[in-house]
Amino acid sequence: VSFGFEDVAPEEKTRRVGSVFSRVASRYDVMNDFMSGGLHRHWKDMFVRRVRPRAGDSILDMAGGTGDIAFRMAERGARVTVADINEDMLAVGKERAAKRGLQGLSWLRQNAEELSFGDAHFDAYTIAFGIRNVTRIQSALDEAHRVLKVGGRFYCLEFSTTTWPGFDKIYDAYSLRIVPKIGRIVAQDEDSYRYLVESIRRFPPMNAFKAMIEKAGFVQTKVEPILGGLVAIHSGWKV
Protein backbone atom coordinates (compact mmCIF):
# COMPACT_ATOMS: atom_id res chain seq x y z
CA VAL A 1 0.00 0.00 0.00
CA SER A 2 1.12 3.59 -0.42
CA PHE A 3 2.44 5.80 2.33
CA GLY A 4 2.78 9.13 0.57
CA PHE A 5 4.78 8.26 -2.58
CA GLU A 6 6.39 5.20 -0.97
CA ASP A 7 5.11 1.62 -1.11
CA VAL A 8 5.06 -0.05 2.30
CA ALA A 9 3.50 -3.07 4.03
CA PRO A 10 -0.06 -2.46 5.29
CA GLU A 11 0.90 -2.67 8.99
CA GLU A 12 3.73 -0.25 8.34
CA LYS A 13 1.35 2.28 6.80
CA THR A 14 -1.00 2.06 9.81
CA ARG A 15 1.96 2.53 12.16
CA ARG A 16 3.37 5.50 10.25
CA VAL A 17 -0.01 7.24 9.92
CA GLY A 18 -0.38 6.75 13.68
CA SER A 19 2.89 8.46 14.38
CA VAL A 20 2.13 11.33 11.96
CA PHE A 21 -1.11 12.17 13.80
CA SER A 22 0.45 11.73 17.23
CA ARG A 23 3.13 14.22 16.22
CA VAL A 24 0.73 16.78 14.75
CA ALA A 25 -2.17 16.41 17.26
CA SER A 26 -1.37 19.40 19.49
CA ARG A 27 -0.89 21.75 16.52
CA TYR A 28 -3.44 20.14 14.21
CA ASP A 29 -6.15 22.83 14.42
CA VAL A 30 -3.93 25.89 14.00
CA MET A 31 -2.06 24.23 11.15
CA ASN A 32 -5.32 23.56 9.31
CA ASP A 33 -6.19 27.25 9.48
CA PHE A 34 -2.71 28.22 8.47
CA MET A 35 -2.38 25.92 5.49
CA SER A 36 -5.86 26.31 4.06
CA GLY A 37 -6.10 30.03 4.83
CA GLY A 38 -9.14 29.18 6.95
CA LEU A 39 -10.89 27.52 3.98
CA HIS A 40 -11.25 24.16 5.76
CA ARG A 41 -13.82 25.79 8.05
CA HIS A 42 -15.94 26.72 5.05
CA TRP A 43 -15.65 23.19 3.56
CA LYS A 44 -16.63 21.64 6.88
CA ASP A 45 -19.64 23.98 7.23
CA MET A 46 -20.72 23.05 3.73
CA PHE A 47 -20.24 19.34 4.45
CA VAL A 48 -22.39 19.44 7.59
CA ARG A 49 -25.10 21.35 5.70
CA ARG A 50 -25.22 18.40 3.26
CA VAL A 51 -25.41 15.87 6.13
CA ARG A 52 -28.33 17.83 7.59
CA PRO A 53 -28.07 16.34 11.08
CA ARG A 54 -31.35 16.35 12.95
CA ALA A 55 -31.94 16.49 16.69
CA GLY A 56 -31.79 12.95 18.02
CA ASP A 57 -29.94 11.47 15.01
CA SER A 58 -27.27 9.02 16.02
CA ILE A 59 -24.19 9.76 13.93
CA LEU A 60 -20.78 8.13 13.71
CA ASP A 61 -18.06 10.66 12.90
CA MET A 62 -15.29 8.36 11.80
CA ALA A 63 -11.66 9.53 11.87
CA GLY A 64 -13.22 12.39 13.82
CA GLY A 65 -9.86 13.55 15.20
CA THR A 66 -10.14 16.77 17.19
CA GLY A 67 -13.89 17.03 16.62
CA ASP A 68 -14.47 19.73 13.99
CA ILE A 69 -17.25 17.84 12.20
CA ALA A 70 -18.69 16.30 15.36
CA PHE A 71 -19.01 19.71 17.07
CA ARG A 72 -20.93 21.17 14.14
CA MET A 73 -23.35 18.21 14.23
CA ALA A 74 -23.73 18.17 18.03
CA GLU A 75 -24.61 21.88 17.92
CA ARG A 76 -27.60 20.84 15.81
CA GLY A 77 -28.72 18.35 18.44
CA ALA A 78 -27.34 15.11 16.99
CA ARG A 79 -25.85 12.44 19.25
CA VAL A 80 -22.37 11.98 17.84
CA THR A 81 -19.88 9.21 18.41
CA VAL A 82 -16.42 10.51 17.55
CA ALA A 83 -14.25 7.56 16.61
CA ASP A 84 -10.58 7.70 15.68
CA ILE A 85 -7.66 5.31 15.70
CA ASN A 86 -5.44 7.88 17.40
CA GLU A 87 -5.77 8.56 21.15
CA ASP A 88 -3.70 11.75 20.92
CA MET A 89 -6.11 13.32 18.40
CA LEU A 90 -9.09 12.23 20.54
CA ALA A 91 -7.49 13.73 23.67
CA VAL A 92 -7.20 17.13 21.98
CA GLY A 93 -10.82 16.80 20.82
CA LYS A 94 -12.14 15.96 24.29
CA GLU A 95 -10.38 18.98 25.74
CA ARG A 96 -11.85 21.26 23.05
CA ALA A 97 -15.36 19.85 23.64
CA ALA A 98 -15.05 20.45 27.39
CA LYS A 99 -13.98 24.06 26.79
CA ARG A 100 -17.03 24.62 24.59
CA GLY A 101 -19.35 22.89 27.03
CA LEU A 102 -20.70 20.66 24.25
CA GLN A 103 -23.11 17.85 25.15
CA GLY A 104 -24.07 14.72 23.28
CA LEU A 105 -20.62 13.50 22.25
CA SER A 106 -18.93 10.23 23.02
CA TRP A 107 -15.32 9.47 22.17
CA LEU A 108 -13.99 6.09 21.20
CA ARG A 109 -10.80 4.61 19.83
CA GLN A 110 -11.69 2.62 16.69
CA ASN A 111 -10.03 1.47 13.51
CA ALA A 112 -12.32 2.38 10.59
CA GLU A 113 -11.49 -0.96 8.96
CA GLU A 114 -12.91 -3.01 11.82
CA LEU A 115 -15.61 -1.35 13.91
CA SER A 116 -16.81 -2.72 17.23
CA PHE A 117 -20.43 -1.56 16.70
CA GLY A 118 -23.21 -3.95 15.85
CA ASP A 119 -24.98 -3.95 12.48
CA ALA A 120 -27.51 -1.21 11.65
CA HIS A 121 -26.53 1.06 14.52
CA PHE A 122 -26.30 4.63 13.13
CA ASP A 123 -28.49 7.05 11.14
CA ALA A 124 -25.48 8.60 9.42
CA TYR A 125 -21.75 8.03 8.99
CA THR A 126 -19.39 10.93 8.31
CA ILE A 127 -15.70 10.89 7.53
CA ALA A 128 -13.82 14.11 6.81
CA PHE A 129 -10.23 14.20 5.59
CA GLY A 130 -9.89 10.75 7.11
CA ILE A 131 -10.43 8.06 4.48
CA ARG A 132 -7.20 8.70 2.57
CA ASN A 133 -5.24 7.87 5.72
CA VAL A 134 -6.93 4.52 6.14
CA THR A 135 -4.84 1.53 5.01
CA ARG A 136 -7.66 -0.64 3.62
CA ILE A 137 -10.14 1.86 2.23
CA GLN A 138 -12.59 -0.71 0.83
CA SER A 139 -12.82 -2.43 4.25
CA ALA A 140 -13.63 0.92 5.86
CA LEU A 141 -16.41 1.53 3.32
CA ASP A 142 -17.81 -1.98 3.86
CA GLU A 143 -17.84 -1.34 7.61
CA ALA A 144 -19.58 2.03 7.11
CA HIS A 145 -22.32 0.24 5.21
CA ARG A 146 -22.64 -2.47 7.85
CA VAL A 147 -23.05 -0.14 10.85
CA LEU A 148 -25.65 2.08 9.14
CA LYS A 149 -29.36 1.47 9.55
CA VAL A 150 -31.47 0.92 6.45
CA GLY A 151 -32.17 4.46 5.23
CA GLY A 152 -28.82 5.59 6.68
CA ARG A 153 -26.58 8.11 4.91
CA PHE A 154 -22.87 8.03 4.17
CA TYR A 155 -20.90 11.27 3.70
CA CYS A 156 -17.24 11.70 2.96
CA LEU A 157 -15.28 14.95 2.67
CA GLU A 158 -11.84 14.49 1.14
CA PHE A 159 -9.20 16.13 -0.99
CA SER A 160 -9.40 15.00 -4.58
CA THR A 161 -8.10 16.15 -7.96
CA THR A 162 -9.12 19.51 -9.34
CA THR A 163 -10.10 19.54 -13.00
CA TRP A 164 -9.79 23.33 -13.37
CA PRO A 165 -7.03 24.02 -15.90
CA GLY A 166 -4.23 26.14 -14.45
CA PHE A 167 -5.51 25.80 -10.91
CA ASP A 168 -4.00 22.30 -10.68
CA LYS A 169 -0.52 23.75 -11.39
CA ILE A 170 -0.87 26.43 -8.74
CA TYR A 171 -2.11 23.85 -6.28
CA ASP A 172 0.77 21.48 -7.12
CA ALA A 173 3.33 24.20 -6.49
CA TYR A 174 1.65 25.24 -3.26
CA SER A 175 1.16 21.79 -1.85
CA LEU A 176 4.40 20.11 -2.89
CA ARG A 177 6.76 23.03 -2.27
CA ILE A 178 5.17 25.35 0.23
CA VAL A 179 3.14 23.16 2.61
CA PRO A 180 6.14 21.02 3.75
CA LYS A 181 8.07 24.27 4.36
CA ILE A 182 5.24 25.71 6.45
CA GLY A 183 5.29 22.38 8.31
CA ARG A 184 8.98 22.80 8.98
CA ILE A 185 8.83 26.43 10.04
CA VAL A 186 5.60 26.47 12.02
CA ALA A 187 5.47 22.93 13.38
CA GLN A 188 9.12 21.83 13.07
CA ASP A 189 7.81 18.79 11.25
CA GLU A 190 8.43 18.78 7.51
CA ASP A 191 8.01 14.99 7.11
CA SER A 192 4.49 14.81 8.50
CA TYR A 193 3.29 17.58 6.21
CA ARG A 194 5.05 16.04 3.23
CA TYR A 195 3.14 12.81 3.96
CA LEU A 196 -0.18 14.67 4.21
CA VAL A 197 0.35 16.28 0.81
CA GLU A 198 1.57 13.10 -0.85
CA SER A 199 -1.35 11.10 0.52
CA ILE A 200 -3.73 13.52 -1.23
CA ARG A 201 -2.04 12.80 -4.54
CA ARG A 202 -2.28 9.04 -4.18
CA PHE A 203 -5.98 9.10 -3.39
CA PRO A 204 -8.27 7.71 -6.16
CA PRO A 205 -9.94 10.23 -8.52
CA MET A 206 -13.54 11.24 -7.76
CA ASN A 207 -15.27 8.69 -9.98
CA ALA A 208 -13.04 5.79 -8.96
CA PHE A 209 -13.78 6.56 -5.31
CA LYS A 210 -17.50 6.79 -6.08
CA ALA A 211 -17.29 3.29 -7.59
CA MET A 212 -15.70 2.01 -4.36
CA ILE A 213 -18.62 3.43 -2.37
CA GLU A 214 -21.02 1.63 -4.69
CA LYS A 215 -19.04 -1.59 -4.30
CA ALA A 216 -19.63 -1.34 -0.55
CA GLY A 217 -23.37 -1.46 -1.30
CA PHE A 218 -24.38 2.21 -1.23
CA VAL A 219 -26.92 3.49 -3.74
CA GLN A 220 -27.84 6.91 -5.16
CA THR A 221 -24.21 7.82 -4.76
CA LYS A 222 -23.22 11.37 -5.60
CA VAL A 223 -20.06 13.39 -5.84
CA GLU A 224 -20.03 17.13 -5.36
CA PRO A 225 -16.73 18.74 -6.37
CA ILE A 226 -15.60 21.91 -4.61
CA LEU A 227 -13.06 24.17 -6.38
CA GLY A 228 -13.17 21.88 -9.40
CA GLY A 229 -12.58 18.82 -7.24
CA LEU A 230 -9.70 20.05 -5.10
CA VAL A 231 -12.03 18.88 -2.36
CA ALA A 232 -15.07 16.63 -2.90
CA ILE A 233 -18.12 15.50 -0.98
CA HIS A 234 -19.13 11.92 -1.76
CA SER A 235 -22.41 10.55 -0.46
CA GLY A 236 -24.63 7.52 -0.67
CA TRP A 237 -27.59 5.75 0.94
CA LYS A 238 -28.04 2.36 2.48
CA VAL A 239 -31.37 0.85 1.44
Q: How far is the CB of 234 from ligand SAM (least distance, A)?
A: 15
Backbone φ and ψ of 114, nearest 5° = -155, 85
* Ranges within 204-223 binding ligand SAM (CB under 6 A): none
Among 48, 60, 115, 134, which residue interacts with ligand SAM (rule: CB under 6 A)?
134
Backbone φ and ψ of 100, nearest 5° = -85, -10
In terms of Cα–Cα distance, which of 183, 196, 212 is closest to 3? 196
Backbone φ and ψ of 212, nearest 5° = -65, -35
- By CB under 6 A, residue 130 contacts ligand SAM: yes
Looking at the Cβ atoms of 35 and 206, the one nearer to ligand SAM is 35
Task: Annotate 195-212 with b (16+ C-beta within 10 A) or e (fewer).
Answer: bbbbbbeebbebeebbeb
* Ranges within 55-74 binding ligand SAM (CB under 6 A): 63-66, 68-69
Looking at the Cβ atoms of 26 and 163, the one nearer to ligand SAM is 26
Q: How far is the CB of 166 from ligand SAM (least distance, A)?
A: 27
Residue 112, annotated as binding a ligand? yes
- By CB under 6 A, residue 51 contacts ligand SAM: no
Q: How far is the CB of 130 from ligand SAM (least distance, A)?
A: 4
- By CB under 6 A, residue 112 contacts ligand SAM: yes
Among 3, 4, 16, 21, which residue interacts with ligand SAM (rule: CB under 6 A)?
21
Please report which residue ranges of the chain form alpha helices under DSSP H: 10-24, 28-36, 39-51, 68-74, 87-100, 137-147, 167-173, 179-187, 190-202, 206-215
In residues, how long is the chain? 239
Strand partners, 235: 155, 222
Distance CA 109, CA 11 (A): 18
Q: How far is the CB of 134 from ligand SAM (least distance, A)?
A: 4
Residue 66, annotated as binding a ligand? yes
Q: In one letter, which amino acid is 156?
A: C
Binding-site members are 66, 84, 111-112
Q: Which residues are annotated as a binding site for S-adenosyl-L-methionine?
A: 66, 84, 111-112
In the complex, which residues of this chain contact ligand SAM (CB under 6 A)? 17, 21, 63-66, 68-69, 84-86, 89, 111-113, 128-130, 133-134
